[in-house]
Structure formats: C-alpha cells, structure tokens
Structure 1
Amino acid sequence: MNYILFDEPAIRTALLPFTFTRPVAGIRVGIWTITEKWEQWLQKPISHLTEAYLQTKFPATYTEPETLYINGAACPSRAFLATLDTLTPESAFVLPDQTVLAVRTAKKLDKAPTATDFAIADAGPDKPVMIRQMPDIFALNGDQIKADFAQITAGRKSAPITDPFTRVYGADNLFIEEGATIRAATINAESGPIYIGRNATISEGTIMIGPFALCHDATVNWGGKMRSNTTIGPFCKVGGEVGNSVFFGYSNKAHDGFLGNSVIGEWCNLGANVNNSNLKNDYGPVKLHSYATGQLEDTGRLFCGLMMGDYTKAGISTMFNTGTVVGVNVNVYGAGFQPKHIPSFSWGGAAEGFSPYRLDKALHVARESVGRRNIPLNDTEEAILRTVFLMYNA
C-alpha cells in the first residue's frame, strides 16, 4: 500500500500562510509534524498530494499497486488506524460535512479527492483529531504533546538529569533524550508530560511547565519562562515568556518578550522585546484574517495571538495585536501595534507604512538566514518562494 497525505483545498486555504510553503501535513502540532506522526504510527514512508508548485519538494510516491490517500489534516490514533483498516477498495470515508477523510484506490490521483469521486463507506464512530483552522494548532497542541509523548517513550528509558541544581516535579512525566543539556532549571511535569529532544539545551534559570516539548537541537535561553501546551521545534532558540504556542523549526525568539496562543513558522526571527496580545480587553471573541474571504472572521476563541509565516522577521519592540496574521517573508518593524494582517513579501510597519519586499532582497535575506545554520537555500526552496511572491505581485 502507498500512503499519501492529501491537502483538502478548503482546509489548506484555512491554514494559510503556513501552507504557502508546506503541505497541510507538514504542520507541527504536538512533538511531531502530522507527516512524522503517520510515519511513526505506520512505520511506512509517507508522501504528499499537494499544490503543483510544492510537489517538487513534496512529491507523491507510488511503489505499490494500491494507495491509501489520507486527509493531511488528520492526526493518527489507534482507533483511526483501526477504522482505516476496514476501508474497502475504491471507496472513501467521508464526514457529514462532505470532508473526505480517506480513499483507498488503485488510481493515481492528480488532485484531492471529493465526496462524489468514490463510493462512500461507513467510517464508524471513531473520527480523528483534525487541524482545520490556524488556532487549532495551538489549541490542540497540549493533547497532541501527550499523544506523541506516549508514542515516543513507550518501552524506553529517559536519560538522567545529572545537574544537582535542577529541580524536577513529576519526574515520571519527564523524558530526556541523550545529548540534552539541562542547567539550574525548574521543570514541572505534574500537569502534563515534558519531552526534551536530543542535543536540546535548557539554560540556567529556566522555568518549564508541562505539557511541553523542546525538540531536538532546540534551546531555551537563560531565565526562559516556558508555559504549558507549548512546542519549540527543532533548532529553535527561545527566551522570555512563551505559552500555548508552537514554533515549527529553525526560528528564534531569543530575548525577553511575551508570546502567547501563537504559531510561528520556520526561519522566523522575533527581535528583542517583541510582544503579542492574546486576549482582548473586552474579553470578546478574537477575529482572524481569512485567506478564503479576505476579511476578519470570528474564531469563536477568547485567546488567540500571532500567526506568522515562514522567513518573516520582526524588529525589536514590535507589538502584535490580538489575532494578527503575518504572511511569508515579511520584514516588519516600528512603533505601534501592527495591522491585523500583513501580506506576504511586505516590508515596513504600522507607523511607516508598508511597501512590497523586493524579491532579490527577500531571497538574499532568506539565503543568509538558512546559511547561518549551514543549510543552503536550494533551487527548490527558492522556486517555492518565487511562486508565493508572484501570488502577491503578479
């Protein structure tokens, strides 16, 4: 069986700007990305059916005569896998709202399947956890940390804490991979598990509360206040106060400042004293920019902070209001609260105004960003960024 995670169009649009540069299943929620979750559960290679301009980096791979196409927004579980095992050839599981969950077929699809493409099978009572909207990423993160933690740690023993000045509460809920460094920290896993990845660093004075995930090669800087339901992705460096937020990977918030109920893509940088609001003064529901409608839409949530796409930089003391969406490859800075939506490839700030980010300059900064980690910005990555640029500057 080939296993391919497909982008359902409405869900993909709802998850922009993060899906400008990755398939839906490339989103990190919990400890792993959705793709990594499926790879771990199935112990099989996973590929993607996504937008044409992303397929060069994320191709659909066919090595077997039959394929199980799975909605890339769906997180695996034992119950959902058992349901998938009952799917018969040339049929689909479809939710009542006509969202396709999975298709089993010998056909090679060139686009996401719809509810009318295949015979509809009875999916049974077990429906998967799905990431349908941007706030779902942080809202479901705590539960997904718990689910991933159980998978990662099953039958394994944690590396020990050797530092005599680190205090741990709820040690049974703490798992440390080999190569991690912890110094003079307070780690409280009584309310949820804490996972520390290989070669991760927890610096002196850190306070960390579970559920929490610090992925491999990531760092919490001195005096970091890491609140619950937070994931710091691979190679990220964070400091200050972070709560109920997700960093995908390779992004920095190295200095003081508050980040709450937020999602930060890859290769982002938040300067010193960058802060966001995650709660309105009138305690009303937060509205968030929708790429589907081009308007602010009610999330129905009391808490919602900053959604920031890949390769975006924020200068020192930048302030983001409740429910702000910033696109891909933006350079934002200056006084005052920034607009609730800043389109991709923009340069400027609320006080100075915004202008289009020159493509050559934006790509130069992107190359410098990844080059600092000794990773080249290859032609495939550059082509993706060029396509996103043309979406706004055609």
Structure 2
Amino acid sequence: MLHTILFDDPVIRTQLLPFTYTRPVAAIRCGIEKIYEKWNDWLKTAVSFHTEPYLSRKFPLTVVDDNLFINGGLCPDEKLVAAIQDLAVNTALTSENGEILAVRSSAGWQPSIEYTHITALTYSGPFTMIRNVWDIFTFNGAQIKADFERITANRKSEPVTDPFTHCYHKEQIFIETGAVIKAAVINAENGPVYIGRNALIQEGSLIQGPFAMGESSVLAQGAKIRPGTSIGSFCKVGGEVSNSVFFGYSNKGHDGYLGNSVLGEWCNLGANTNNSNLKNDHSPVKLHSYVSGSLADTGLTFCGLMMGDYSKAGISTMFNTGTVVGVNVNVFGSGFQAKHTPSFSWGGHAEGISEYRLEKALAVAKDTVNRRNIDFEEDDENILRTVFEQTRNQRIF
C-alpha cells in the first residue's frame, strides 16, 4: 500500500530556521492548517516524516515497499495532488528549475541523494512552496482562502447568535461548534474568516479577513486583527496584529503591535511589546540568515519578527524591522533589540546578553507546557537539549 512521507529538503530546512530547529518543515503552519495537515486531508491518509534524526522520535518515519516522498515545504492544490498521485514507481516530479517536488520510490530514497534509476518529470504548473521564513506570512492570506474552501465545502457554519456582533459578507464566515463571539465586528469582504472549535472572541474585537483562528484560542477585548493573520490552537491574542502567523500555544495577550511576523509555539510577548515592519526609508528589509550567518535581503518592504519556540519577551520590548529570535530565548530591556538574538539567550541589547542556563531554560519550558495541562515529554526535552548544543557557537556575547 502506498505510504506518504513528507521530507525536509536540506536547503529549505536551513532557510526556515529557527522554526525547523524544533519541527519538520511540514509541521509549519501557513493558512488555517499546518502543511502536513493539508496533505492528510487531501490524500485521506496519515503521513510520516523524513526529518533530522533528533526530531524523528516525535515525528516518526515509516517506510514501506511503495513510498511517496513529498517535499515538506510544498502546499497541496488540486492539480498538484493529481500530478503527484499519477507518479509511477521510481519517478520524480520536479519544478522547471529542477527542484524536487515529489518522488515515488520502492527503495529508501534520501532527499540528499540522487538515483540514476529515477525518471524525472517536469511540473509546469504554478505551486506554493514555503522556502523562507518570510514566505510563511507572505503566502498566509492565499493559504487561508485555499484551506477555507476545502475545510468548509458542503458544511454548514454555526450561526452568529450574539445580537451585538456585526458581520460583513456572512457567506465567507465559518464558525465551528462551541465558538463564542461577543460584540465583535467581522468583515469578510476581502477574504474568508474561519473560527475554530471552542474559540472565544471577546467584546470589541475587530476582524478583517482573510483570518483564521484555531481551536480554543482567545481574542482579547478590543483586539484589532488585520488581513492575512492566522492564530493556531490554544493561543491568546490581543492588541493589533497584521499579516502574522501564530503556530499555536503562544500568547500576545495585551496591547501592542505585531505585523508581518511569525511566532512559533509556546511563545509569550509581554504587555506593550511592539515590532517595526517597515523601514523609514522604505528600502527592502534584511533578515538574519542561518545559511550565511549574516543579513540576507528578503526583497520585502514589510517584514517584522520571527520568533522560535519557547521564547519570551518582557513588557515594552521593542523589535526592529526584520528581527530574528531563536529558540528558548528570554529577551527584555530598553531600546530596540538586536536583529538576531541566538537561541538560549538571556537578556537584551542594552542590558547585555548571556547564555540561558540549560537546566533553568528546560524548567521554564516544562512549566510553560504543564500550565496548559499538557505533558512536557522526554522527546521535547531531548529536542531542546540538542538545539542547545547545535546553537552553542551562535552565542558569542
């Protein structure tokens, strides 16, 4: 029986750090769902992952006699899925630039190894590939629309029962069971709005689509949500948010601006934390590259904060245009923070930065997870220990 494996392209994985320190590429959220969830739905099967060895216990790999390897950064659509499903054994589907999109192989194919016995077919149609961290928010609005059409097809939304909530273009608003909305304004004229199960939208929230909100997440009183924003499951978000993605289990519960940004899981932004997403001279934003170790030109006029899992910012923290914060960072203090704060750092640009003691960092991470009544498992701890060692050379203070 054909089995689907989502693989980490080595080049793309590095370009997507710090988010791929703690997850495979396919576990990135873009749109309503994570990439692997999209493939699960399209293919009506559970996928497995070909990723880094230290991630494989949490994201296991299953190999059978007939395997369909799909690039983990690839977002499915109808034509692409059809082309992939039509692949014969020992055939690869590549882009016009030679990028591997999918391989059907009877052997244990490796993304970094080429086999002479594999026949390459070129896919000439358009497709969406998450290659860089900024692609996550850049493609997010379009992916919300695509996910919305598929998830809500032939289904009926729960009604808006609150008399003080006003909706524009109700046909493009879908509410799952258990969601509660109070005295909000929801405008789906420019894109759909999806509200997940048991989500809570508190009084005075203003929402512009395209927008997606995951299961049991909360929009705090007076939240202002601008287009292209996705909030994963079990988040609490307040203040002003524009074209940004929260992977899940992360909080920005108070006032402050977040724009053109991506937050991983288990992050927290303190009250009045703000980020810049536009340079005063309107020139393209440069962002720290884990490929070169230096700043890389994104080509974007708008680009904000990229924050890895388990990282936290103190109250009134200011992030400059195009800032990268690694995994398990505690950043705080006056003035704008550095353009790149390495993983397992403690402190701020003005106050000075030191290494976040590993055992202390693990204890805080465990407490952060346990407070949501979720177990911080041995696999999670081992992943963080590995990331600590992998990023040691970045922490030169």
Q: Into which bin does the TM-score normalised by the smaller protein fall?
A: over 0.9
CA distance in 2, matches of 1:118, 1:51: 25
Question: Which residue number in structure 1 is paired with residue 384 of structure 2?
Answer: 385
Q: How far 1:92 sits from its partner (Å)?
A: 1.0
Q: How far 1:268 sits from its partner (Å)?
A: 0.2
Counterpart code for 1:144: Q
Give the match's secondary structure for 2:40. helix
CA distance in 2, matches of 1:124, 1:50: 24
- Structure 1 residues 44-83: aligned runs within 5 Å: 44-62=45-63, 64-83=64-83
Question: Which residue number in structure 2 is paired with residue 14 of structure 1?
Answer: 15
Give the match's secondary structure for 2:391. helix
1:233 aligns with 2:232: yes
Counterpart code for 1:2: H
Q: How far 1:87 sits from its partner (Å)?
A: 1.5
- Flag structure 2 segments of 5+ consecutive residues without an equivalent: none
Q: How far 1:94 sits from its partner (Å)?
A: 2.2
| TM-score normalised by structure 2 residue count | 0.97
CA distance in 2, matches of 1:128, 1:46: 20
1:93 aligns with 2:63: no
CA distance in 2, matches of 1:32, 1:182: 22
Question: Which residue number in structure 2 is paired with residue 102 of structure 1?
Answer: 102
Give the match's secondary structure for 2:149. helix
1:23 aligns with 2:36: no
Q: How far 1:91 sits from its partner (Å)?
A: 1.7
Greater CA deviation, 92-101 or 160-169? 92-101
CA distance in 1, matches of 2:165, 2:116: 57
Matched-pair contact (CA < 8 Å) for 2:257–2:273:
yes
Matched-pair contact (CA < 8 Å) for 1:270–1:316:
yes
Counterpart code for 1:55: S
Give the match's secondary structure for 1:29. coil
Matched-pair contact (CA < 8 Å) for 2:288–2:324:
yes
- Cα distance 1:117–1:355, how it changes in 2: closer, same or farther (>3 A)? farther
Matched-pair contact (CA < 8 Å) for 1:220–1:237:
yes
Deviations 1:299-342 (A, max 9, x none): 00000000000000000000000000000000000000000000
Deviations 1:85-105 (A, max 9, x none): 232211212224332111111
Question: Which residue number in structure 1 is paired with residue 360 of structure 2?
Answer: 361
CA distance in 2, matches of 1:381, 1:193: 35
1:295 aligns with 2:291: no
CA distance in 1, matches of 2:117, 2:321: 42
Question: Which residue number in structure 2 is paired with residue 313 of structure 1?
Answer: 312
Greater CA deviation, 86-95 or 200-209? 86-95
- Structure 1 residues 1-394: aligned runs within 5 Å: 1-62=2-63, 64-109=64-109, 111-115=110-114, 118-393=117-392
Greater CA deviation, 16-25 or 94-103? 94-103
Matched-pair contact (CA < 8 Å) for 1:254–1:270:
yes
CA distance in 1, matches of 2:96, 2:117: 15
Deviations 1:98-149 (A, max 9, x none): 321111111123x424455553422332242100011100000000000000
- Cα distance 1:348–1:40, how it changes in 2: closer, same or farther (>3 A)? same
RMSD: 1.1
- Cα distance 1:117–1:266, how it changes in 2: closer, same or farther (>3 A)? farther
CA distance in 1, matches of 2:131, 2:116: 22
Matched-pair contact (CA < 8 Å) for 1:94–1:120:
no
- Cα distance 1:117–1:239, how it changes in 2: closer, same or farther (>3 A)? farther
Matched-pair contact (CA < 8 Å) for 2:344–2:388:
yes
Matched-pair contact (CA < 8 Å) for 1:99–1:115:
no
Matched-pair contact (CA < 8 Å) for 1:100–1:115:
no
Identity of aligned residues (%): 59
Give the match's secondary structure for 2:144. helix
Matched-pair contact (CA < 8 Å) for 1:235–1:250:
yes
Give the match's secondary structure for 2:280. coil
CA distance in 1, matches of 2:272, 2:322: 19
Counterpart code for 2:15: A
Counterpart code for 2:52: E
Give the match's secondary structure for 1:122. strand
- Flag structure 1 segments of 5+ consecutive residues without an equivalent: none
What is the total number of aligned residue pairs between the two structures? Answer: 392
Give the match's secondary structure for 1:365. helix
Matched-pair contact (CA < 8 Å) for 2:96–2:122:
no
Give the match's secondary structure for 2:379. helix
| TM-score normalised by structure 1 residue count | 0.98
Greater CA deviation, 369-378 or 254-263? 369-378
